[in-house]
Amino acid sequence: MSDQREPSVVSGKSFTAVAINCAAKAGEWIKTKLGNYNRLDTKYSSHDLVTEVDKGSEQLIKKLVLTHFPHHSFLGEEGVEPGPEASAQALADKSEAEYLWIVDPIDGTTNFVHGFPFFVVSIALAYKGEVIVGVVYDPMKDELFLAEKGKGAYVSGKRMQVSKEETLSSSLIATGFPADHLYALPLNLKGIQALAPQVRNLRSSGSAALHMAYVAAGRLTGFWEIGLNSWDLAAGSLLVQESGGIVTDTQGKSYHLGVRNVAASNGLMHEPFLKALAVAEATE
Ligand code: IPD
Ligand code: CA
Ligand code: CA
């Protein structure tokens, strides 16, 4: 039965088309603002940046999504008070939503501010708490990563598959330096200290969503970070899963929208990966 209020919702395809359109439009606009933003503010800490471009990107996406799907719910980073408690609460407030769009209008704002070309627009659609569409768009490389639940994941139209490394010693793993320096950063540093000598190498390029997309594309073996938010991870989680990888929290529990401490990998080295973090007491 079609829903009279949402005549254009006939299949997952129209959701996906809107997600792609939003990400492409926002990404193209963000690119024109590189080196050209007007206002830089800090949020939760002096390491947590926001510009008018983050806010403008979110407005653009929100307007487009709600034009197509006026009865859907929307959770965007810039509509939420800064800090981990407010983020968790904002997600809890939307827990009853049937369709929920989860958006990071620029993931990698620090990079955007410095002109370091590694930032994305991240858009996910969850149905009853489960991500069914994930889009991560890198405007600098014009690469669009897309996944639909049960239908695989693609980068610029090409099917993605996670990498094949089976050991830590052959793995290239990414992490982040969280803006929360009280709780998240010290834990992540413990993980970095433990993993650095065990893996082929570590990377930290400043966009959790793009790191997740790179795990999906087989360019990274794994990614972990403490203290992330739903909008950093929702789209990327589906990309990794639909590319044959695994996404859990750092203690090994299955991914859900509330996960803040994430470990994503090709699956083959997930066990030693989690074990190394546990031994280092770097998981919570
Ligand atoms: C940040 C990026 C960064 C990660 C931080 C995030 P933002 O998101 O994903 O890689 O280390 O923890 O907050 O603030 O650029 O949207
Ligand atoms: Ca982010
Ligand atoms: Ca952001």
Q: Which residues contact 60 (CB under 8 A, 6 or more apart)?
A: 22, 25, 26, 29
CB atoms within 10 A of CB 274: 21
- What's the mean pLDDT in 68-72? 95
Q: Phi/psi at 206 (nearest 5 deg)?
A: 95, 15
> What integer pLDDT is reported at residue 141 of this predicted model?
98
> What integer pLDDT is reported at residue 261 of this predicted model?
98
Which atom of ligand 1 lies nearest, measured to the CA of 177?
A: 11
pLDDT at 47 over 90: no
Q: How many residues does the chain have?
A: 284
- Decide if 187 contacts 226 (C-beta within 8 A): yes
Beta pairing, strands 158-159 & 201-203? unpaired
Rounded to the nearest angstrom, the distance between the alpha carbon of 250 and the centre of ligand 2 is 18
pLDDT at 3 over 50: no
Which atom of ligand 1 lies nearest, measured to the CA of 228?
A: 12
- Decide if 180 contacts 84 (C-beta within 8 A): yes
Protein residues with CB under 6 Å of any ligand 1 atom:
104, 107-109, 176-179, 206-208, 225, 228, 232
Q: CATH: 1.10.10.10, 3.30.540.10, 3.30.1360.70, 1.10.3720.10. Which one for 2-159?
A: 3.30.540.10
Using pLDDT thresholds of 50, 70 and 90, give the confidence band for residue 44. Answer: confident
Domain boundaries, the chain: 2-159, 168-279
Q: What does the block give as tokens for 44?
A: 């939760």
The pLDDT mean for the chain works out to: 94
- What's the mean pLDDT in 227-239? 98
Query: CATH fold of 168-279, please?
Result: D-Maltodextrin-Binding Protein; domain 2 (3.40.190)
Q: What does the block give as tokens for 43?
A: 């949020």
Q: What is the pTM of this model?
A: 0.95
> What integer pLDDT is reported at residue 11 of this predicted model?
44
Rounded to the nearest angstrom, the distance between the alpha carbon of 101 and the centre of ligand 3 is 15
> What integer pLDDT is reported at residue 46 of this predicted model?
84
Integer Cα distance of 187 and 211 in angstroms: 19
- Decide if 246 contacts 158 (C-beta within 8 A): no
106 among annotated binding-site residues:
yes
